[in-house]
Chain A
Amino acid sequence: MNPVLPLALALATAVAAGGRLLLWQQSGPQDSGSLLTLLLGESRRAFADQMFLKADGYYHMGNYPSVFDLALPDGKTHMAKESEGHDQHGHSQPLPHHRDWLEAFGHHFRPTGHRHLDGIRDGREILPWLRLSAELDPHRVDSYTVAAYWLRERLNRVPDAEAFLREGLRANPDSYEILFELGRLYAENNRDVPRARAVLELAINKWIHREAAKPAPDTPSYRLILGQLATLEEQAGNLDRALAHYTRLKHFSPQPDAVQKRIDEVLTKMARPK
């Protein structure tokens, strides 16, 4: 048999299979064609998680539990909780007891004690890991929201925070978390009420679209968005709108009495003669 024939057949099969694979790859969801995506493939998501934990480790000044130590029960990092405004983990915890003399000796050679990053000088140090986490996995929404929180709240770098959130929104157009953070930025930093309102209302729509039908929806995020929107409207003098949002919030809040108090305040304001 002519040796050219099997070679030609192999080549034809390779070209056909290659073309088919290319079409299959292009039909899937397209991430950014970055070098990291090319090099690491899907494993980059695991690396992104590690980078995010690294940032949390920096937030704790290097004193961070390993996989062998206690895992966080709700799967959220302390750094992310702080950006959501409810990090209340034990600052006054006693130092961990030492299981043996070797462990006690080892504590002299690594950071111990519960400390957090503080001030502008230290605060910026978590940003490279969050940036890298976002580069590795652009669909990890936490990376954008936490970095934006630190940029605007701690470092007073509002334009950088906005640019990063917009980058995150391009990669995750349905993310109500990013929209909420962007709305906060417009409301609290830029004082741009119409824009903040538009973005927060879009966040509510996205939340309803993504979460409302779920058996266990992400209600804490919904409460945050509603609360932000209600406060914004109250401050802008749109009391009827604020009242509507507070009423919705009361329905979802674990502390309806506190929300009712706000509703009463708004009603009092509305009853005042103009």
Chain B
Amino acid sequence: MNTVWSLAKVVVLEMVRRKDFYVLFILTVLLTGTAGSVNLFNDRSIVRYLKEICLLLIWLSGLIIAITCTARQIPAEREHRTIFPLLAKPVTRGQFLLGKFLGCWVATGMALVLFYLLFGLVSGSRDHQWPVLNYLQAAWLHWMMLGIVIAFTLLGSIVFAAPSSNGTISFACAAGMLLLGRHLNKVALSVAEPLQSLLYTAYFILPHLELFDVRELIIHDAGLIRWDMVTLATLYAAAYGAFFLFGAWLAFRRRPLN
């Protein structure tokens, strides 16, 4: 576990040094600030549109950080040839993958903490309400969802040749699932067999990232999500994360490094 953690720490430090997060954070602040400064019928207490814009930017930034950070991990190690001394030490390929995953996931989690702090400040300053537990649930579920995306991107970085293609494919898959995932069953029911069975099978097999998107609940001040449901969602994310990580390990364990 120490080996995995040491590898993860390197990834986190690399993320701290890179400018990606800072650029996205500043962009989010600027765009939210601009949206907040718009005069809407001389009413400064309108807040939900601002929450919506801020959360959308946070979700976009979270996806970009998670995918770009993960997609470049293994190709960069190969390109700089640092993967050889690393794996020559007593580090197994499984530990290497796990370390990379953990590093990207923790780094993304740290970014999310700052993003959600910003969201809390923006929302609280207008709304004068501080539903901390709701925000905690939203951030937690968001982080769990990004865990699945990171594991999927890590698998992609072994399957696909270039980080750019991996990043694009991962982003398209994640966006596709977020936008269409919950409608696949409705589409399936409206088509004829055998496409219906195929689509319904895909609906059950694919990871439903949209389950973790609780922005509407936050925007419209709905109550807390039941904690047993949050636990189930966490288990759901853990299962898919483990599945993709296992797939990455299977693909990576016998792959030549050069």
Instruction: Show the binding face of A for B, using Cβ within 8 Å.
Output: 58, 61-62, 66, 68-69, 99-100, 102-103, 105-106, 108-111, 121, 124-125, 127-129, 131, 151, 157, 160, 164
| Contact partners of A129 in chain B: CB under 8 A | 49
A62, A111, A127, A151 interface centre (most CB from chain B within 10 Å): A62
User: Would you call A105 and B46 a contact (CB within 8 A)?
Assistant: no
| Contact partners of A66 in chain B: CB under 8 A | 183
The answer, among B185, B189, B216, for a CB contact under 8 Å with A62, is B216
Bound complex: CA A124 to CA B210 (Å): 28
With A62-B217, A108-B226, A108-B229 as known contacts, state yes or no: A128 contacts B183, CB within 8 Å: no
The answer, among B41, B46, B186, for a CB contact under 8 Å with A157, is B41
User: Would you call B43 and A127 a contact (CB within 8 A)?
Assistant: yes
Across the interface, name the chain B residue whose C-beta is closest to A121: B45
| Contact partners of B212 in chain A: CB under 8 A | 109
| Contact partners of A124 in chain B: CB under 8 A | 41, 43, 45-46
User: Would you call A106 and B208 a contact (CB within 8 A)?
Assistant: yes
Bound complex: CA A121 to CA B128 (Å): 12
| Contact partners of B222 in chain A: CB under 8 A | 61-62, 111
27 contacts between A and B (CB under 8 A): A58-B220, A62-B216, A62-B217, A62-B219, A69-B186, A99-B185, A99-B186, A99-B189, A102-B185, A102-B203, A106-B211, A108-B226, A109-B212, A109-B214, A109-B229, A110-B213, A110-B214, A111-B217, A111-B222, A124-B41, A125-B49, A127-B41, A128-B38, A129-B49, A131-B41, A157-B41, A160-B41
| Contact partners of B219 in chain A: CB under 8 A | 62
Contact with A along B33-65 (1 / 0, CB 8 A): 000001011110111110000000000000000
With A105-B232, A131-B40 as known contacts, state yes or no: A110 contacts B49, CB within 8 Å: no
User: Would you call A68 and B46 a contact (CB within 8 A)?
Assistant: no
| Contact partners of B213 in chain A: CB under 8 A | 109-110
| Contact partners of B210 in chain A: CB under 8 A | 106
User: Would you call A125 and B217 a contact (CB within 8 A)?
Assistant: no
Across the interface, name the chain B residue whose C-beta is closest to A160: B41
Residue count of chain B within 8 Å CB distance of chain A = 35
User: Would you call A127 and B40 a contact (CB within 8 A)?
Assistant: yes
List B2-60 residues whose CB lies under 8 Å from chain A. 38, 40-43, 45-49
The answer, among A61, A69, A121, A160, for a CB contact under 8 Å with B220, is A61
A-B contact count (CB 8 A): 77
Other A-B contacts than A109-B225, A124-B43, A157-B41, 14 sampled, CB-CB below 8 A, are A62-B220, A68-B187, A99-B189, A100-B185, A102-B185, A109-B229, A110-B213, A110-B214, A125-B46, A125-B48, A125-B49, A128-B38, A128-B49, A151-B41
Bound complex: CA A151 to CA B46 (Å): 13
The answer, among A62, A127, A164, for a CB contact under 8 Å with B46, is A127
CB proximity of A91 to chain B, nearest CB, Å: 17
With A102-B208, A108-B226, A110-B216 as known contacts, state yes or no: A125 contacts B47, CB within 8 Å: yes
User: Would you call B217 and A164 a contact (CB within 8 A)?
Assistant: no
CB proximity of A171 to chain B, nearest CB, Å: 17
| Contact partners of B208 in chain A: CB under 8 A | 102, 106
User: Would you call A128 and B211 a contact (CB within 8 A)?
Assistant: no
Contact with A along B189-231 (1 / 0, CB 8 A): 1000000000000011000101111101101101001100100
| Contact partners of B186 in chain A: CB under 8 A | 68-69, 99
The answer, among B41, B189, B217, for a CB contact under 8 Å with A109, is B217
Across the interface, name the chain A residue whose C-beta is closest to B219: A62
The answer, among A99, A102, A111, A164, for a CB contact under 8 Å with B41, is A164
| Contact partners of B74 in chain A: CB under 8 A | none
Across the interface, name the chain B residue whose C-beta is closest to A100: B185
Bound complex: CA A111 to CA B220 (Å): 8
